[in-house]
Structure 1
């Protein structure tokens, strides 16, 4: 299996099941985006292999200014406001994807992959977005020392921004009521 097929397969294993429920076409879109993403400034990736099988991966890059306006970025910017979005996220290491096969969950692999792509983040500044549809993901990031910097709507929908364990703005993040 080539790397692109292996990554697409891990992505599908991680995100096509509940709570994400992404279809196979989303896994194919991810693989297609990856060829462009590797050209982004500061791109880094980590790959976990057991034997000959890819069991996990993480990708990250530097978030450029002006702050992006595609995908879920507008929700992140709305939650932080313009000043904090620019100061906290632009120029920081953005974790784009973190995926492990179900058989590798609970082994520490996801934490190792996350640490690998955040190592050397500019000024310790790393961040990510995740959906509140996955309490497991939200809990995982908290256990890894990440700080939730935005909070979902009262209906509990949408995405949340997490700041990495060494991000200097962690103490400034608003805490939920």
Structure 2
């Protein structure tokens, strides 16, 4: 496992290849590979310079990326672009501030099909969350990524209940070390 900061851009082509393979396969197979490649590469150029950006990659003997995880500390004010608006709608601004701002955000986690079932996803996730501020980490994923949802639940990640009538197309997870959802129910899912 290799750890990176903004120097992730030195392996951006290999990381992008892995990202496209992972995130254009089911359940994301509705995504166009060329558009996914371009969008991810552009995002990576920006994300690599976020405060607290970190990444971990697992490289195969041939130098190709078998798995990856990226993230950073969520800064205030909580963003509204990408899927962040859905997170705020789902949890409410007060809970977002209490639970997510200042916590380490896992932005991307992916493992190529050839290495699934080896524990690599768990290793990658642990590599970045082990040093999360006060053990606080979070992530979001698509509610239709059923295998992904089951993976996070098996790892002990917990889902803050959405506000009544506020379910969205994303699911938010808090790391097992994040403490409770101060003042609101957290689903303790097993799986």
TM-score relative to the length of structure 2: 0.84
What secondary structure is seen at the aligned counterpart in 2 of 1:103? helix
Deviations, residues 25-76 of structure 1 (Å, cap 9, x unaligned): 1122112211211111111100001202211110010111111000111111
Partner residue in 1 for 2:12: 4
Q: Is the 8 A contact 2:90 2:168 kept in 1?
A: no
Deviation at 1:173, TM superposition (A): 3.6
Matched, 1:81 2:89: no
Q: Is the 8 A contact 1:98 1:114 kept in 2?
A: yes
Q: Which runs of no fewer than 5 residues in structure 1 stay unpaired?
A: none
Deviation at 1:169, TM superposition (A): 2.5
Aligned partners of 1:27 and 1:118: how far apart in 2?
26
What secondary structure is seen at the aligned counterpart in 1 of 2:141? strand
Partner residue in 1 for 2:39: 29
Correspondence list, 1:52-63, <5 A? 52=62, 53-63=64-74
Deviations, residues 98-134 of structure 1 (Å, cap 9, x unaligned): 0111111111001100111112111111000000111
Q: Is the 8 A contact 2:67 2:110 kept in 1?
A: yes
Aligned partners of 1:174 and 1:109: how far apart in 2?
27
Partner residue in 2 for 1:72: 83
Deviation at 1:157, TM superposition (A): 5.9
What secondary structure is seen at the aligned counterpart in 2 of 1:129? strand
Q: Is the 8 A contact 1:152 1:158 kept in 2?
A: no
- Supply the RMSD in Å over aligned alpha carbons: 2.1
Q: How many residues align?
A: 174
Matched, 1:38 2:48: yes
What secondary structure is seen at the aligned counterpart in 2 of 1:94? strand
